[in-house]
Each structure stands twice: as C-alpha cells, then as structure tokens.
Amino acid sequence: MTPVRVLHVITGLRIGGAERLVVTAATGLPRGAFESAVCCLAERGALAEEVERAGVPVWCVGSYPGLRHPLAFWRLWRIIARFRPEIVHTHLQSANLYGRLAARLAGVPVIVCTEHNVYQSKARRYVVVERALGRITHAVVAVSEQVRRFLSEQLGIAPEGIRVIPNGVAAPVPDPARVAALRARLDVPAGDVVLGTVASLTPKKGHTYLIEALALLRARGVACTLLLAGDGPMRPGLEALAARLGETARVRFLGESERVADVLALTDVFVLPSLVEGMPLALLEAMRAGRAVVATRVGGVPEVVHDGDNGVLVEPADAEALAVALAALAAAPARRTDLGARAGATVEGTYTEERYVGALAGLYRELLAARGLA
C-alpha cells in the first residue's frame, strides 16, 4: 500500500509547545501508512535537525507569505505542489492562513488546521479570513475543550464542528550525568525548595508575576530558588525585575540549551504562571515526571489540573495567590509527593504521545475515507 503523504506547515521549528507537537506528529505516525514532511515559513528552527534525523524532510520558505512577499507564497505553493500530499495540516496563525490557501490552490484533497492557543486579541481581519478559510478546511482541530469553545464563538463554528485532540507527551527521561552537572553549575543552596518553569520568555507566559511571587516568598522566610528554562524578548526586563526586587541570586535564567527532563529532575514544584494557554506541553511533561504543579486557571489547564487533587490552581496575574500556593507546598514535602504521583497518573492515562498520534492517524483515515481516498 502506498503511504499517505502528510505535509505539516508551521511558522518554524523553534523550541515551543506547538512546534514540539509537530515533531511528534511528523516523526510518530506509522511509517508504513504515512509519509510525513514539514514546511516552515519563516525559519527552520532548533528542532528541524531532530526531525531530519528521524528521516523526515524539512523545507523552509524563508519568509512570511503575504502582500509584501508574494514570492514567498509562490515558494510555499511550489513546495506543496512538488511533494503532492494527500493531506496538508497547518499549525499556528500564519501557517493556518497561508498554508490552507496554498494547499487549496495546489489541489490538496484534505486540509486540516490545528488551533493551539486562545488568541483573544486576534485582529478582526484575521477572523474574517479564517471564517472564509473554514469553508475549504476539512477538519478544524483544537487542543482542548476551552480552545474549542473559544474558536466556536470567534469563528462562528458550531462546537461539534471542531475536533478536540488533546496534546500528548512522552515520559521525560533525565540524563543522570547532565543532571549532576547542571546541579553543580546552578549551585542551589542546600535546603532551598526549587521552583521551575519551562516557557518562552514572552508577556503571555506571566513570568513577571512568578518573580514577584518569589520576592514575596523570600520576604516571608521561604527558602527557594527559581529556575527559568526558555528564552525570548522578555529576558532583559525579567532580569531587571529580579535585580530590582533583590532576587538576582535566587533566579537562574537557563535559556533554551537545557533539556526539559533534566530541569524537571531538579525541580520540586513546577509553576505555570501563564496568562493565556491552550494545552501547554511543558505542564504535561512536568506532571508526567511526577512533579507537583501550581498553575493558573487559564485555557485548557483546568481540564488537566484538578485543584487540590493532582495540582493547585490559582487565578492569573496574581503574584500573591501564587506566593500563597507555593508557600503551602514548600512547607509540605509529603503533599508535594502525593500531588506529583496523582499528576503523573493523570497524564499517563490520557495525555500521551501514543494517544495523540493514534487520534491524529484516525482523523486522517476518516477524512481520506470521506473523500474516497482510503
């Protein structure tokens, strides 16, 4: 049987949740049944080599398509036309717009798009265009029920017309040697409770409130150190905030170079202070690693974290609420262990890579059958 060709279109393969999910999909679909490839719009990104090592080709348009870059749209169309996929699956806002249009012009039989986030401030013109593109899209996928509800309201699509395929993660496997080296390099004071988070340093991730919460904790005598894994435009401002609050010695900016599994191995409590989320992979990874979590009640987070059962939920943009929740867990090691065990069981039962890839393959087969192509 000839494998079904699937082309994933995304802005780029930098380190991020949606990007890592594309890596999972492109490399995880059964090779005998599917032949995958990835097309990046603006840049290849750090994850492109990982995809290529798995034998999946990665192409790059080189710039965002649009009125100012008509040749970029032509290059995107050309990549699609040459690969001749049966399915084009787009991810994130720009790729969802231009990728679907180029796929239609290239005569692709099945077009799928995934919404990974809740874009509350999306420009009206994008909403209008997305509503029009909905008519040529064979399946709209949301990563959580909350994203589905938001999309339904924003785009005027009936909720039942949007599929929910929750994100899935593999079990984080730390490298003992790397963990030991990282522990030695960070030189965390003995007795400190280690708080950690993994996210791009952008405003929507809420790092400002986490650093403010750290200062509140320290003022109340809680010995703790904060690990911030990730990078982004907010880093200089966050470093300045830590300095202004006198917390430079207790905030470690790790950048993007550290493996998530290694950072989680050093973390006592994982904190997700986000203001906006869809279904964050970093949260799922922390839970599957058995870490106690404190997270904000945004997007699809409450679908995974059940307050008081497998984690703690607080309202977003509230440093005081974060500090109170973290102080309680800092003082209760047994409670952290119990929450971590329950968190791991939650993710292992529902939010695994195997379930995600299986659901995606099932959707593809269903759509192909409906078009008489299965």
Residues 22 and 118 in one domain: yes
Query: What is the Cα–Cα distance from 51 to 24, expressed in whole angstroms?
Result: 9
Q: What is the pLDDT of residue 118?
A: 83
Residues 135 and 193 in one domain: no
Residues 164 and 198 in one domain: no
pLDDT band at 84 (very low <50, low <70, confident <90, very high): very high
Q: What is the pLDDT of residue 127?
A: 83
Q: Which of 33-37, 157-161, 177-181, 238-242 is predicted with the least confidence, judged by mean pLDDT?
A: 157-161
Residues 162 and 275 in one domain: no
Q: Count the domains in the chain.
A: 2
Residues 270 and 146 in one domain: no
Residues 211 and 341 in one domain: yes
pLDDT band at 154 (very low <50, low <70, confident <90, very high): confident
Backbone angles phi, psi at 44, to 5 degrees: -70, -55
Give percent of the chain above pLDDT 90: 87
Q: What is the pLDDT of residue 119?
A: 75
Range of the domain at 183: 176-350
Residues 53 and 122 in one domain: yes
Q: What is the pLDDT of residue 68?
A: 77
Q: Which of 109-123, 139-153, 357-371 is predicted with the least confidence, judged by mean pLDDT?
A: 109-123
- C-alpha closest to that of 227 among 202, 192, 203, 180: 192
Please work out, in degrees rounded to the nearest 5, the angle formed at the alpha carbon of residue 160 by the alpha carbons of 155 and 164. 85
Residues 138 and 212 in one domain: no
pLDDT band at 143 (very low <50, low <70, confident <90, very high): very high
- Classify residue 149 by burial, with Cβ atoms within 10 Å: 0-12, 13-18, 19+: middle
Residues 141 and 207 in one domain: no
Question: Greater confidence, 315 or 258?
Answer: 315
pLDDT of residue 257 exceeding 80, the answer is no
Question: Greater confidence, 195 or 128?
Answer: 195
Query: What is the Cα–Cα distance from 28 to 194, expressed in whole angstroms?
Result: 33
Mean pLDDT computed over 256-283: 94
How many of the other CB atoms lie within 10 Å of CB of 319?
20
pLDDT of residue 121 exceeding 90, the answer is no
How many of the other CB atoms lie within 10 Å of CB of 170?
14
Residues 265 and 243 in one domain: yes
Q: What is the pLDDT of residue 258?
A: 73
Q: Which of 76-90, 95-109, 146-160, 344-358 is predicted with the least confidence, judged by mean pLDDT?
A: 146-160
Q: What is the pLDDT of the chain when averaged over all its residues?
A: 95
pTM: 0.94
Residues 52 and 127 in one domain: yes
pLDDT of residue 351 exceeding 80, the answer is yes
CATH number at residue 84: 3.40.50.2000
Query: What is the Cα–Cα distance from 245 to 268, expressed in whole angstroms?
Result: 23
pLDDT of residue 145 exceeding 80, the answer is yes
Interval 28-60: pLDDT, tens: 999 999 999 999 999 999 999 999 999 999 999
Give percent of the chain above pLDDT 70: 100
Strands (E), 143-246: 162-164, 193-198, 224-229
Q: Which of 9-23, 113-127, 181-195 is predicted with the least confidence, judged by mean pLDDT?
A: 113-127
Residues 198 and 128 in one domain: no
